[in-house]
Amino acid sequence: MIGVGRPKQYANVLEKPLGKGKQEVSLNAYSFLFSELVQYNQTRVDNIAELERRLEDAGYGVGLRVLELLCHREKGNRREIRLLGILSFVHSTVWKSLFGKVADSLEKGTEHEDEYMISERELLVNRFISVPKDMGNFNCGAFVAGIVKGVLDGAGFPAVVTAHFVPVEGQPRPRTTILIKFAEEVLQREARLG
């Protein structure tokens, strides 16, 4: 574990103490690494949709693990089973743990019952990214969308999750909105639970 002094050998990763998760690395180190992830994936695709899909895949694996980790550490080995519960878990607990703050907003879509949005004025992964004009609507937030999808899927709330730029009046940079569209079965179950 980080920060426990001299590393101790464990026969098995599951025997290691979980740690408090307070350790930090520099933002630069993370940004360099993330930029390599994006650039590497850029060499393996020939269109933007494919690139976003690959970033989402990478994020998905992170999301599954974050869910497991945080349920053990923060929730006393329980996980949310209600729609609003899991959404606020993502918006608050997950965001706070990964990005150091609660997400700027969590809203319900006005047009569709099954849509929710998490918005962030300056998403960590988009901070040092400028998207060239010829790449259209490409959004590195796809990685974070993948994390959200991983958390939701892992908790039994399958959803389609996408990241979008939304211009904000008076601000030079758009905010990023993570759009969550739940599968039909999730809403049906939620209705049954009353």
We find the least distance from the C-beta atom of residue 91 to other proteins, in angstroms, to be: 16
Question: Among 12, 77, 110, 130, which residue sits at the site for other proteins (rule: CB under 8 A)?
Answer: 12
Size of the site for other proteins (CB under 8 A): 42
Determine if 139 is a binding residue for other proteins (CB under 8 A).
no
Q: Segment near other proteins (CB under 8 A), from 11-19, 76-84, 103-111, 183-191?
A: 11-19
By CB under 8 A, tell whether 28 contacts other proteins.
yes
Smallest gap from residue 184 Cβ to other proteins (A): 29
- Annotate 17-46 with b (16+ C-beta within 10 A) or e (fewer): eeeeeeeeeeeeeeeeebeebbeebbeeee
Backbone φ/ψ region at 106: left (φ over 0), alpha (ψ -120 to 50), beta: beta
CB neighbour list of residue 50: distance below 8 Å, 6 or more residues apart = none
Task: List the interface residues with other proteins, window 108-127 (CB under 8 A).
Answer: 124
Cβ atoms 147, 63 nearer than 8 A: yes
Pick the closer one to other proteins by CB: 23 or 110.
23
Which of 100, 132, 172, 194 binds other proteins (CB under 8 A)? It is 100
What would you measure as the largest C-alpha separation in the chain, in angstroms? Answer: 56
Q: Which of 42, 79, 88, 98 binds other proteins (CB under 8 A)?
A: 98
- Which residue in the set 49, 50, 61, 185 belongs to the binding site for other proteins (CB under 8 A)? 61
- Of 9 and 77, CB closest to other proteins: 9
Least CB distance from residue 93 to other proteins, whole Å?
13
Strand extents, DSSP E, 34-174: 105-108, 115-120, 159-166
To the nearest whole angstrom, how small is the minimum distance from the Cβ of residue 45 to other proteins?
A: 11
DSSP secondary structure of 72-84:
HHHSTT----SHH
- Tell me if 33 contacts other proteins by CB under 8 A: yes
Any idea which residue has 């969590």 for tokens?
106
For the four alpha carbons of 64, 92, 71 and 194, in that order, the dihedral sign comes to: negative
Q: 165 near 175, Cβ under 8 Å?
A: yes
Work out how close the CB of 104 gets to other proteins at its nearest, in angstroms, rounded to a whole number: 17
